[in-house]
Amino acid sequence: MITFDETEPRKARLTKKARQDRILSEMMANATLRVGDLAADLAVSTETIRRDLFELQEQGLLNRTYGGAVRPFAAEPSVTERHRQMVSEREAIAAVAVTFIRPKEVIAIGAGATTTHVARRMAAECRDITVITHSFSVATVLAANPTIEIIMCPGRYNGREGMMVGAEAIEFLQSYHVNRAILGVSGITAEGLADAEAPAAWVYKAMMNRAAETIVVADHKKFDMTALAIWARVPDVQRLVTDRMPGGALARALARAEVEVSVAGRR
């Protein structure tokens, strides 16, 4: 006959809401989760965990995988909406990013809200440079400075993001030597840098491959966010300019790759 030690405390059974909140908390700490591990930690069956994951996926809070779940992919609002978000942080990032640019350099700049802030600061502070871009907003703000030569990439127009993409843009970039590529991201993790728009990601990759140095400009909300298309691994970039020092696995990956992290506002 099996007996139990009544003095041993029993694990309290969580409500479904509390259990799902715990799952989401684990998801914030770990990019991937496994059904078996969750079932053991929460003292429920694997079937219960699978139902929880299904419900959380229906709410857009995670993505189920075979045997577990991952964080949801970053789904960005349009570039017009993003221009109204994190303005002070992006302005601070832009102020640091332009300090690495020298006269007579060729700079490739990707599309995006943060890179447009960088371009605006470049128009105010830089002289005698050439800028290659596929972004109409970047080109427009740079045009205020007559000493900056602007070269636009050809290709297929993406109206939502105000940029040119496609094979023509990628082939065009192969014709240039670039001193620095300044690129934004939808998300950056220890696995790599990614964009929610796959056609844009391939243009960013082409810019990076033509550049002697790649500078990534990203606010802290992009940390540990996954997005559809990975265009670079962490060791592929040389510098990250941001508004807050990253932590955890991302910080370790940046340190291993010897990526220089410049935090806006820090001396």
Which domain does 48 fall in, by range?
16-70
Establish if 9 belongs to a structural domain. Answer: no
Establish if 103 belongs to a structural domain. Answer: yes
140 and 92 part of one domain? yes
Domain harbouring 46, CATH code: 1.10.10.10
99 and 140 part of one domain? yes
Average pLDDT of the chain, as a whole number:
89
Q: Rounded to an integer, what distance in angstroms lies between the CA atom of residue 88 and that of residue 80?
A: 16
180 and 56 part of one domain? no
Domain harbouring 221, CATH code: 3.40.50.1360
> pLDDT of 117-174, one tens digit each?
999 999 999 999 999 999 999 999 999 999 999 999 999 999 888 999 999 999 999 9
> pLDDT of 45-100, one tens digit each?
999 999 999 898 888 788 888 788 877 665 555 555 555 567 899 999 999 999 99
* Reported confidence tier of residue 33, pLDDT bands at 50, 70, 90: confident
53 and 182 part of one domain? no
Q: Please check the confidence at residue 4 and state whether its pLDDT lies above 60.
A: no
144 and 24 part of one domain? no
Establish if 179 belongs to a structural domain. Answer: yes
Q: Please check the confidence at residue 266 and state whether its pLDDT lies above 70.
A: no
Q: Rounded to an integer, what distance in angstroms lies between the CA atom of residue 52 and that of residue 238?
A: 41
Beta strands 156-158 and 163-165, pairing class: antiparallel
- Domains in the chain, number: 2
> pLDDT of 229-244, one tens digit each?
999 999 999 999 999 9
58 and 133 part of one domain? no
145 and 127 part of one domain? yes
36 and 147 part of one domain? no
Cα–Cα distances in Å, from 246 out to 13, 16, 112, 263? Answer: 35, 32, 21, 10
Q: What angle do CA 80, 86, 91 make, to 5 degrees?
A: 95
- Segment 30-44 shows an average pLDDT of 86
